[in-house]
Structure 1
Amino acid sequence: MIKRKKLFTGLIAITIVLSLTACSNVEDEQRQLIANQGPTALYKQAKNNMEIGNFSAAAQILSSIDSKFPFGPLSHQVQLDLIYAHYKSGDIDQTLATIDRFIRLNPNHADVEYAIYMRGVVNMEQDANLFQAVFGVDRSDRDPSRSKEAFEDFRRLIEQHPDSKYAPDAKQRMVFIKNRLAKYEIEVARFYMRREAWVAAANRGRYVLEYFADTEQIQPALEIMVASYNELGLDQLKNNAVKTLRLNYPQSEFIN
């Protein structure tokens, strides 16, 4: 029985070694194939990989073209395709690095607006609320730094390229991001309220009114201000907040 176990274990080990060797050989063959082809043939192969959804292989080939032929006639298109291939492969760091490099080296290129737009998309998706999307759990209290960066990317696109075909989508994304940032401020305000830090809570509510007046968070911001000013005994400020709340949200329970 022991001998059989040893034999079985040995066979597994041999199989693993052979599998690893085979994978290594395939990778070596792939690298050799890339090394022996010109930029046009390589680019065609990369595009074929992208068409079938093999973005990792496409990124590898495009990176090779970019490295071996940095000033060739395909260089700009290779870099743009590389942005998309890295993005679809889920390699966020490489995507952003490729975007920033393209923008830095080609600030006046006709397709720089695409690079700026993709920078915003990548940053926005990095801040995507997985818990909320999958489990229905709202995590608006998370650090919004990626959303802020995405907002600035989209703002830059619209300011520098107002007629870009990406501008309408960028504007819609900015609306979404503003609401996300406003929700974050509301969550921070509620955090302060739970700790009875009424001044800080009221200031957060007022901040939402001043900077996110076109979002859906105005009602909770006003309600936070009413509650906080009430605790602080600031009747005039409380009455002003109640008046605004009554005018815009007459069904709010904070009015009375």
Structure 2
Amino acid sequence: MKPIRLMMPLVVGVMISVTGCSSSDDSEERARLANMGSQQMYDHAKRSMSVGNFGQAATTLSELDSRYPFGPLSNQVQLDLIYSYYKSGKIDETLATIDRFIRLNPNHSDVDYAYYMRGLTNMESDANLFQEMMQIDRSDRDPTKAREAFEDFRRLILQYPDSKYAVDAKKRMMFIKQRLAKYEIAIARFYMRREAYVAAANRGRYVLENYSNTDQVQEALEIMVSSYDLLGLTELKENAMKTLKLNFPDSDFIG
């Protein structure tokens, strides 16, 4: 455990250092932009994006958007700003810019891209940096952002079925379903430990009804069998066991 304790202050220290540098870089960048026209600023931002300097690009595009909110480049500036914020890890700014773009441009040809980026951003927000670094499984963490991402992708597919982003959105929805199903199972296990067997069985049934195409179904059925058994609900237990035998004949719960 010692290396983990040492890692946390180091990571936080690095983040603080990067934040300080970012603030200084923003000020310097805004000073350079003071005498630029709109096209110069946009070309400058595109050069920053092309070399992967999305933080600088976001600063330039944000300044351009503020100075020329109704200029001929305004829509493209906002779209590039969405991407630059996203690549910079600025979740709140990304979502705010996306929502503004959708609100002001509901019929724009690239509004499907905005919904797609909203889904990606909410997925990113659902992820946890420290959990990924330390390979800690926290399936029980709050799934609010995962649900929002799922809704973003669902809306994209329903409203723009021919969008070039639709195929990837469907794949991401399947990934999110797995995440949400794992959350339900994690909560069901918690209820089992607390001997709240009715609540545990209900969570298992919810997985069957809503996430039947995920790999959490077997455990959901096993939780239902165990819960109904402990509650003395023989008929419900037998029904759950029949479904388990039919779909997962190698389950340890059988026999």
TM over 0.5: yes
- C-alpha deviation, 1:160, in angstroms: 0.6
* Residues 26, 59 of structure 2: 8 Å contact kept: no
Measure how far apart 1:64 and its partner are: 1.3
Letter paired with 1:107: P
Query: Aligned AA for 1:76?
Result: N
- The equivalent residue for 1:213 is 212
2:239 aligned partner = 240
- Which position in structure 2 is the counterpart of 1:157? 156
Q: Corresponding residue for 2:70?
A: 71
Structure 2 residue identity aligned to 1:44: D
Larger Rg: 1
Contact kept, 8 Å, 2:29 with 2:60, in 1: the verdict is: no
| 1:1-256 correspondence runs (5 A) | 30-130=29-129, 133-256=132-255
Amino-acid identity (%): 68
Which moved further from structure 2: 27-36 or 197-206? 27-36
The CA distance in 2 between the partners of 1:232 and 1:86, in whole Å, is 52
1:183-222 residue CA offsets vs partner (Å, 9 max, x unmatched): 1001100100001101110111111111111111110000
Counterpart amino acid of 1:185? E
Distance 1:39 1:201, change over 3 A: same
Q: Structure 1: 5+ residue runs without aligned partners? A: 1-19
Cα distance in 2, alignment partners of residues 31 and 149 from structure 1: 34
User: Matches of 2:125 and 2:80 in 1, distance apart?
Assistant: 20
Name the structure 2 match of 1:14. Answer: none
Query: For the residues of structure 2 that align with 1:33 and 1:183, how far apart are their CA atoms?
Result: 49
Residue 50 of structure 1 contacts residue 58 of structure 1 at CA under 8 Å; is this kept in 2? yes
- Alpha-carbon spacing, 1:30–1:235, altered in 2? closer, same or farther (3 Å): closer
Amino acid at match of 1:223: E
* 1:48-68 deviation line (CA, Å, top 9, x unaligned): 111112211111111111111
Corresponding pairs, count: 234
Once the two structures are TM-superposed, the CA of residue 37 in structure 1 deviates from its matched residue by 1.4
Give the Cα separation in 2 of the matches to 1:236 and 1:63.
63
> Per-residue deviation at 1:135?
3.1
Q: Is the 8 A contact 2:120 2:149 kept in 1?
A: yes
Deviation at 1:128, TM superposition (A): 1.7
CA distance in 1: counterparts of 2:220 and 2:85, whole angstroms? 40
| 3-state secondary structure, aligned to 1:189 | helix
RMSD: 1.8
Report the Cα distance in structure 2 between the residues aligned to 1:90 and 1:187, rounded to whole angstroms: 28
